[in-house]
Amino acid sequence: MNSQKINEHYKTLAPDLISNGAYYDLHILENFVKKHYSPSSKPLAMAVGFSITNEAGIIKNFHKIAYGIPIEDSKVFGCTLVQSSDIKGIVKDYNYVMYGNDGDALDDFTWVRPFLIGNFEPDDYDFIYIRNPDILNAPRLDAWKGIILRANDHLKPEGLITVVVRESDSGKYHTLLDMLNRDAGMKPIVSEPAGIEYKNKHSMFEDFHHTVGVFRKSNNLND
């Protein structure tokens, strides 16, 4: 779909996001996730490695647009290894955020911290969003494999993990899929190009929204 049409469409549906990048994310979620996903009436989500793109606003608007769930009925937590001083001011739409060592998605405690420290009711996650993971070298590939498996541990049976990969990382993304399949027997139900046609062929968004991977919860991981 043409990027200009995507912008025009979501500026009306989600005017509070005010970001072309966020509109492209919404387009991806509606077109690649919606048909596979049945969230609870009060969905709980985690944005792994959250950024200035405001993944919380994207996730809450997605649930509102696609399923009619009021913004206030969606809860989104965010975790990142970045220190809070580097990204402050972008967290208004999050219900709980974790930074630095507290935001390490490889650590099992990060996934339950909001319930134990933030006083939220314990639950597994309906939706886990991983946007532009940095997977260019082997140690990071192994870490992201571990993060996806950790996310799987905390996913509801009907929940989904969605990964959006940059074009510059797309080659390594296929290596990551091979590792998940080989080491854990985990395969995506969706893995394909986002198919957004950009007016500006050199737009940074063309790199950011290249490939989409969607995973269901796996209960048959290899030992």
pLDDT tens, residue by residue, 109-156: 999 999 999 889 999 999 999 998 888 777 889 999 999 999 999 999
Within 8 A by CB and 6+ apart from 220, the residues are 185
Per-residue confidence (pLDDT) for residue 195, from 0 to 100:
65
Which two structure tokens, joined as six digits, stand for 100? 């630095």
Residue 63 belongs to some domain of the structure: yes
What stretch of H or E contains 48? strand 44-48
> 142: helix, coil or strand?
helix
Selection from 143, 133, 155 nearest residue 215 by Cα:
155
CATH number at residue 117: 3.40.50.150
Lowest mean pLDDT among 21-30, 162-171, 177-186, 196-205: 196-205
Residue 221 belongs to some domain of the structure: no
Per-residue confidence (pLDDT) for residue 23, from 0 to 100:
87
What stretch of H or E contains 74? none
For residues 90-114, give the mean pLDDT.
93
Instruction: Output b/e per residue, 157-170; b: 16+ Cβ within 10 A.
Output: eebbbbbbbbeebe
Lowest mean pLDDT among 44-53, 168-177, 189-198: 189-198
Residue 185 belongs to some domain of the structure: yes
Residue 98 belongs to some domain of the structure: yes
Q: How many domains does the chain have?
A: 1
β-sheet bridge partners, residue 43? none
Residue 222 belongs to some domain of the structure: no
pLDDT tens, residue by residue, 190-205: 998 776 665 555 445 5
Per-residue confidence (pLDDT) for residue 208, from 0 to 100:
56
End-to-end Cα distance, the chain: 41
Predicted TM-score (pTM) of this structure = 0.91
Selection from 148, 156, 153, 96 nearest residue 123 by Cα:
156
Which two structure tokens, joined as six digits, stand for 63? 């649930």
Structural domain for 112, as ranges: 3-216
Phi, psi of 168 (to 5 degrees): -65, -20
Residue 186 belongs to some domain of the structure: yes
Residue 223 belongs to some domain of the structure: no
Per-residue confidence (pLDDT) for residue 202, from 0 to 100:
47
Asked if residue 32 has pLDDT above 60, the reply is yes
Residue 134 belongs to some domain of the structure: yes
Sign of CA dihedral 205, 210, 216, 221: negative
Band the pLDDT of 83: cuts 50, 70, 90: confident
